[in-house]
């Protein structure tokens, strides 16, 4: 798989721990909304690369990424120092398990995210095909502090009767302070939105975030009759596991 150097065109700092940036897009680069790509930097002749979900929609002429910043992270500690006009290396192949083909059509689709796990869902909620497959799309994003609610205004601008946005903050006073897992498992999420409890026969779930959240949600869903998409077939929920494997920080 080949890497090409792309130019950083803008940078946006959300908090001390999170930032996003846009880059030029290779002319022949193709991806599906919800996928990730490997990007990186060279340091002392060695490529340091990690998987990053693509925030931007697949019809945009640029690429956008959302990143954490860990002071001693092999990649993020250097990536945060990159400035507009400088280059990053982007792989030629995108992949991932959070695209529309990885979950069955259904009634309501729940997009459950923590932290920078929000990234693939931003590209998905811009996709018109999403709303042809589901009656309602519920995006729940949990962070520790309000400033980490990346893309909050952009999501609010898209929100309507079909797209329901539930931001939650766990370590500051906020309108919703429960974690995404607690909201879903307790049923408080459905009461809050006036929706029927999620049912594996009718509803679908996509999950992206920290490893603990992924494990907790997967265990709960499988214990309650849900089937995860795998090599055996497309199920009623799907999880992005790449970041458990590629997580430097």
Place of tokens 């949990």: 142
- Taking residue 66's Cβ as centre, other Cβ atoms within 10 Å add up to 23
Domain identity same for 78 and 108: no
Of the candidates 64, 88, 62, 77, the one whose C-alpha atom is nearest the C-alpha of residue 7 is 88
43-85 confidence digits (pLDDT tens): 999 999 999 999 999 999 999 999 999 999 999 999 999 999 9
Q: What is the pLDDT of residue 245?
A: 38
Q: What is the pLDDT of residue 246?
A: 41
Asked whether residue 244 carries a pLDDT value surpassing 80, the answer given is: no
Averaged pLDDT for residues 234-241:
95
Q: What is the pLDDT of residue 243?
A: 67
Place of tokens 């990536």: 79
Q: Cα separation of 70 and 52, whole Å? A: 15
Domain identity same for 76 and 128: no
Place of tokens 């497309």: 234
pLDDT band at 1 (very low <50, low <70, confident <90, very high): low
Domain identity same for 203 and 117: yes
- Taking residue 10's Cβ as centre, other Cβ atoms within 10 Å add up to 11
Q: What are phi and psi of 134, to 5 degrees?
A: -135, 145
Based on C-alpha coordinates, what's the Rg of the chain? 18
Domain identity same for 80 and 109: no
109-166 confidence digits (pLDDT tens): 999 999 999 999 999 999 999 999 999 999 999 999 999 999 999 999 999 999 999 9
CATH of the domain at 175: 3.40.50.80
Of 95, 110, 131, the residue that ends a domain is 95
Q: Which residues, other chains included, contact 58 with Cβ-Cβ below 8 Å and sequence gap of 6+?
A: 30, 31, 32, 33, 123, 127
Angle at 137 between CA 120 and CA 59, to 5 degrees: 45
Q: Which long-range contacts (CB under 8 A, 24 or more apart) does 68-73 make?
A: 68/17, 68/18, 68/115, 68/116, 68/249, 69/16, 69/17, 69/18, 69/19, 70/17, 70/248, 70/249, 73/248, 73/249
Domain identity same for 181 and 124: yes
Averaged pLDDT for residues 81-103:
97
Domain identity same for 194 and 241: yes
pLDDT band at 242 (very low <50, low <70, confident <90, very high): confident
165-209 confidence digits (pLDDT tens): 999 999 999 999 999 999 999 999 999 999 999 999 999 999 999
Asked whether residue 249 carries a pLDDT value surpassing 80, the answer given is: no
Q: What is the pLDDT of residue 164?
A: 98
Instruction: Answer yes or no: are the C-beta atoms of 237 and 226 closer than 8 Å.
Output: yes
Domain enclosing residue 195, as ranges: 100-246
pLDDT band at 247 (very low <50, low <70, confident <90, very high): very low
Of 95, 123, 147, the residue that ends a domain is 95
Q: Which residues, other chains included, contact 223 with Cβ-Cβ below 8 Å and sequence gap of 6+?
A: none
Q: Cα separation of 207 and 111, whole Å? A: 6
Q: What are phi and psi of 227, to 5 degrees?
A: -125, 125
Overall number of domains in the chain: 2
Q: What is the pLDDT of residue 34?
A: 98
Asked whether residue 39 carries a pLDDT value surpassing 80, the answer given is: yes
């Amino acid at each position: 798989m080949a890497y090409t150097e792309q130019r950083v065109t803008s940078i946006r700092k959300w908090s001390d721990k999170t930032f996003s940036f846009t880059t030029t897009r290779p002319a022949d680069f193709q991806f599906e909304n919800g996928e990730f790509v490997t990007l990186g930097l060279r340091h002392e002749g060695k490529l340091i690369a990690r998987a990053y979900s693509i925030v931007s929609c697949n019809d945009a002429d640029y690429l956008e990424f959302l990143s954490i910043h860990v002071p001693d992270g092999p990649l993020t500690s250097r990536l945060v120092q990159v400035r507009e006009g400088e280059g990053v290396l982007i792989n030629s192949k995108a992949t991932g398990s959070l695209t529309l083909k990885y979950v069955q059509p259904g009634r309501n689709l729940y997009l459950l995210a923590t932290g920078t796990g929000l990234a693939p869902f931003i590209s998905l909620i811009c996709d018109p095909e999403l709303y042809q497959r589901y009656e309602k799309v519920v995006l729940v994003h949990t962070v520790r502090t309000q400033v980490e609610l990346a893309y909050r205004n952009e999501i609010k601008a898209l929100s309507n009767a079909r797209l329901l946005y539930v931001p939650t903050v766990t370590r500051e006073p906020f309108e919703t302070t429960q974690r995404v897992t607690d909201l879903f498992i307790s049923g408080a999420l459905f009461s809050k939105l006036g929706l029927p409890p999620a049912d594996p026969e009718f509803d679908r779930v996509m999950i992206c975030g920290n490893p603990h959240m992924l494990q907790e949600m997967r265990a709960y869903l499988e214990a309650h009759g849900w089937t995860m998409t795998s090599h055996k077939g497309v199920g009623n929920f799907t999880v992005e596991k790449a970041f458990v494997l590629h997580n430097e920080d």
